[in-house]
Amino acid sequence: MFAVVLFAPQMLNDGDTWSHIAVGRWIIAQRAVPWTDPFSRTFAGAPWQAHEWLSEVMMATAYQLSGVAGVLLLTGGAAALTVGLLARHLLIWLAPQAAAIVLVFATVCGASSLLARPHVLALPALELWGAGLAVARSRNTVPSFWLLPVMTLWANLHGGFAFGLALVLPFALEAVVANPAARWRTAGGWGLFLSGAFAAAILTPYGWHGLVLPVRLMLLQHLGAIGEWRSMDFSVPQPLEIALLALLYACLTRGVRIPPIRLLLLFGLLHMALQHSRHQMLAGLVGALVVAEPLAAGLGVRADARAAGGRGAVPALAGAASLLVMTALRLGIPAPIPDGPTFPVAALAQVPPDLRARPVFNDYGFGGALMFEGIRPFIDARAELYGDEPLADYLRIVRPDAAAFDDALRRNGIDWTILPPGSSLVPLLDGRPGWRRWYADRFAVLHARDGLGEQP
């Protein structure tokens, strides 16, 4: 996993990588977290919280130290730690061969969301939290309160901590149902732990506001128009589809029985993944922890406690050596920001300083690159900042709606645009009096008002 992340071009296929680094640089420079937006032109000064502030500071620090290679090393370390932790926890219930198969299915489910972004940095916290709940339930105990600092860390890394809070409920309900003689004591223990989890989750610079933001984001009506929030596309095989078919095969042919509450939890994870493709990673990782114990019982592949323990110094040294070699290779091989559809490096290099300071209309996917370059975007991927109405206006503009576009140009005093070549607005601008195309390549097309945009 470490090697894949370090050298897979896919890791930088998202403009949000650059916006998160930009936010992290701002926090480091100001030595404070923002409460209002300091980046966009259209919503400058509007209320906004950098709820992933710790991830963003880590990404900005990694970039300042080693550029793109540093960001990849940070992301690769988080992904590798997650896989290692999951392997270790699956071996609590499953024999090594079975654990390896489940681990592969869990890992490939997250392949499409494996990006240099905060949600990957938060994956070790997700795994530790989910495993802590599953192990406590397996041992018929209340989760250890030493797990609560994991929630605090998670809440400062990524907004997905809200799912972690919700995940306590099905495990708590299963514990209560399984212990009818001690129902109230069991409910009290899990309830106390959940209260502690909520208290741990508000230990962030934003306090209780951090609990509200994930809810507000999920309630946005136009969220599904954003790529990662769209439903899964089954016109091509999906990793989650293959994992689900494998699980169905085990249940239907080998008599694996999943307890009702865990089955409902799996249904919930599946619904989330089908509704928003980004949740495949969540379904794979948490789903593996949910089904590990029932699979072990149904398939007869329980872990052998007598075989547990260390595997010797030689494999450990070999693993450490391989990590060092891969780290040296990554640092030794130049890794510039790749010119591509999420960061049009060549196109932005053509924008002179005076034009950078003027109002721009940009494609949604270019917002992160503009923030990174110190250019105030018209829109970027912070949907929680812009809200439903501005998102709806943007979608109407790029449909294209010429009248809505003209209104946006007039209201915002737009002097130049940066759009992908396939945008429906490009031919509209090509034929518009007072505008001219002054640069184009395979990733971006630049238009400016007549008299603007010439290089000195």
H helix or E strand, kind and range, residue 418:
strand 416-419
* pLDDT attached to residue 227: 66
Q: How far apart are CA 72 and CA 344, in angstroms?
A: 19
CB 56 within 8 A of CB 371: no
pLDDT at 242 over 90: no
Model confidence at 363, in pLDDT bands (50, 70, 90)? very high
Residue 208 and residue 266 in one domain: yes
Assess if residue 221 is contained within a domain: yes
pLDDT at 200: 97
Q: Is residue 320 part of a domain?
A: no
If asked whether residues 59 and 132 sit together in one domain, one would say yes
**Are 349 and 293 found together in one domain?**
no
CA–CA dist 338, 340 (Å, integer): 6
Q: In the structure, what pLDDT confidence band is assigned to residue 381 with cuts at 50, 70 and 90?
A: confident
Confidence band for 456, pLDDT divided at 50, 70 and 90: very low
pLDDT of residue 362: 95
| Domain range enclosing 7 | 2-313
Summarize the chain as % helix, strand, coil (round to 5): 65, 5, 30
Higher pLDDT, 231 or 15: 15
338 within some domain:
no
pTM of the predicted model as reported, rounded to 2 decimal places: 0.92
Dist CA 205 CA 129 (whole Å): 22
Determine the Cα–Cα distance for residues 23 and 191; give it in Å rounded to an integer: 36
- Strands 435-440 and 445-449 come out as antiparallel
Clarify whether residues 276 and 423 are in a common domain: no
327 located within any domain: no
Is residue 229 very low, low, confident or very high in pLDDT (cuts 50, 70, 90)?
Answer: low
Asked whether the beta carbons of 71 and 63 are under 8 A apart, the reply is yes
Six token digits for residue 435: 């505008």
For the segment 128-139, what is each residue's pLDDT rounded down to a tens digit? 999 999 999 999
C-alpha dist (Å) from residue 27 to 20, 99, 145, 274, 313:
11, 41, 31, 35, 42
pLDDT on residue 416: 95
Distance CA 143, CA 146 (A): 8
Please check whether residue 334 lies inside any domain of the structure. no
In this structure, the strands spanning 416-419 and 435-440 are: unpaired
Residue pLDDT, tens place only, 150-192: 999 999 999 999 999 999 999 999 999 999 889 999 999 999 9
Residue 157 lies in a domain: yes
pLDDT tens sequence across 422-437: 999 999 999 889 999 9
Average pLDDT over residues 95-105: 93
pLDDT over 70 at 228, yes or no = no
Asked whether residue 290 is assigned to any structural domain, the reply reads: yes
Length of the chain: 456
Decide which of 357 and 454 is more confident: 357
Shared domain for 304 and 350, answered yes or no, is no
Q: Are residue 390 and residue 262 in the same domain, yes or no?
A: no
pLDDT band for position 238 (cuts 50, 70, 90): confident
Residue 108 in this model has a pLDDT that exceeds 70: yes
Residue that is last in its domain, among 264, 289, 313: 313
What mean pLDDT value characterizes the chain?
A: 91
407 and 292 part of one domain: no
Residues 181 and 246 both lie in one domain: yes
Residue 227 domain-assigned (yes or no): yes
Are 122 and 160 within 8 A, CB to CB? yes
What does the DSSP 8-state code read for residue 338? P
- What is the pLDDT confidence band of residue 312, given thresholds at 50, 70 and 90? confident
* pLDDT tens per residue across span 7-57: 988 899 888 999 999 999 999 999 999 999 999 999 999 999 999 999 999
Same domain, 275 and 419: no
Q: Give the chain's radius of gyration (CA, Å).
A: 24
Residues 291 and 357 both lie in one domain: no
pLDDT at 454: 63
Residues 249 and 300 in one domain: yes
Q: What total number of domains does the chain contain?
A: 2
